[in-house]
Amino acid sequence: MVFDFLKGEFIDVISWLDDTRDTMVWRFDRRGQAIKYGAKLTVREGQAAVFIHEGQLADVFQPGLYMLETNNMPILTTLQHWDHGFQSPFKSEVYFVNTTRFNDQKWGTKNPIMARDPEFGPVRLRAFGTYSMRVTDPGKFMTEIVGTDGEFTSDEISFQIRNIIVQEASQVLAKSGIPVLDMAGNLEDLGKLIANAIAPKVAEYGLSIPEFYIENISLPEEVEKALDKRTSMGVVGDLNRYMQYNAAESMSQPGSAMGSAMGAGMGMGMGASMAQNMGPWGAQPGAAAAPPPPPPPPPAGKVWHLAVDGATSGPFGEAELAKAAAEGRLTRATMVWTPGQDGWKMAAETELALILDQVPPPPPKP
């Protein structure tokens, strides 16, 4: 009976079966009991066991089956000044560390990244993607991150990792020199640059980033709309010929509204011509007819205001702005405003980008 009682006071089997997907560290619950000398320690694949003795990092065990004795606990033996024949129970905290990959971790830029594009000038970029992380140094991870946390999950470290990723991603994208329109074809290379940049910092936590992906790099919505307009104009080509083609297509459809309207218009035109040849009612042909009404005034064009060195000027029409762009007084970074626009914006982010695209580059050096 006494032997059974004493046996119940000591722990002789230490192991951990992980039934979660996000637990990185789990502390073995010994409930105040001492660990029996010669106890069995089972460390499964994808795990490491870390012994903390009186607040100090002691021995770290990789996967395997161990008998806890002085010959396989060298650090703990040194800390306790145990001799070779020591066989008494001891008290230590045992932490199991999950060393498998934690996949599908998310990252993204909360604020836009300012970059200088060789074609569009200053632009704002946003990026997001996924990564995986893994504990490569269980002892360092325990001392630097976990401390005395009895159950540490991936969510508790992911926020810090995201901050490191965003910081390095901002610098890599801003310094890459890759045009915005070509970044989609270079996501893999950009991802490798960012992964290499963050590797030394996460290594200080005992972690590594075995996989890192950039899923998308995007421009502000208003810039994307301007690019869509520019693309549409490139597809259309000659605008006059495009309008003539559409009109001809509409006229060729007898049941369409445009065909009916054009037919009615042609009939009215023929009737007016006949009436003009016949002259006014009761008058002989050749008599003076009433002059046609004047054409309607052309629609008013959009005008713009410029802000340069803290002073505003304008309004300017498109012809004046084209001249200013040719003379270098209007650039992509110039702040502009037009009635109906929500605040001042860079010219590159407005429809004035179409005018700036037509400005020839500086002449080659002789």
Residue-wise pLDDT for 347-364, tens only, equals 888 888 888 877 776 667
Q: Does position 317 have pLDDT exceeding 70, yes or no? A: yes
| Per-residue confidence (pLDDT) for residue 218, from 0 to 100 | 86
| Per-residue confidence (pLDDT) for residue 272, from 0 to 100 | 54
Q: Does position 78 have pLDDT exceeding 80, yes or no? A: yes
CB 353 within 8 A of CB 318: no
Query: Could you tell me the pLDDT band of residue 6, with boundaries at 50, 70 and 90?
Result: very low
| Per-residue confidence (pLDDT) for residue 269, from 0 to 100 | 54
Query: Could you tell me the pLDDT band of residue 4, with boundaries at 50, 70 and 90?
Result: very low
- Contacting residues for 266 by C-beta, under 8 A, at least 6 apart: none
Q: Does position 320 have pLDDT exceeding 50, yes or no? A: yes
Mean pLDDT lowest among 183-192, 245-254, 278-287: 278-287
Query: Could you tell me the pLDDT band of residue 55, with boundaries at 50, 70 and 90?
Result: confident
| Per-residue confidence (pLDDT) for residue 3, from 0 to 100 | 35
For the record, the structure tokens of 133 come out as 């992380």
Q: Mean pLDDT score of the chain, rounded to an integer?
A: 80
Q: Which residues of 201-228 are buried (b: 16+ CB within 10 A; e: fewer)?
A: bbeebbbbbeebebeebbbeeebeebee
Q: Checking DSSP bridges between strand 56-61 and strand 121-135, what pairing results, if any?
A: unpaired
Query: Could you tell me the pLDDT band of residue 344, with boundaries at 50, 70 and 90?
Result: confident
Euclidean distance between CA atoms 305 and 320, whole angstroms? 11
Chain Cα centroid distance, residue 162: 12
SS3 105: strand
60 or 260, greater pLDDT: 60
204 or 238, greater pLDDT: 204
Q: Does position 340 have pLDDT exceeding 70, yes or no? A: yes
pTM of the predicted protein model: 0.58
Q: Does position 215 have pLDDT exceeding 60, yes or no? A: yes
**Mean pLDDT across 237-266:** 60
Q: Does position 201 have pLDDT exceeding 80, yes or no? A: yes
Q: Does position 274 have pLDDT exceeding 60, yes or no? A: no
CB 330 within 8 A of CB 347: yes
| Per-residue confidence (pLDDT) for residue 2, from 0 to 100 | 33
Give all strands of the β-sheet with 10-14 in edge-to-edge order.
Answer: 10-14, 34-43, 64-67
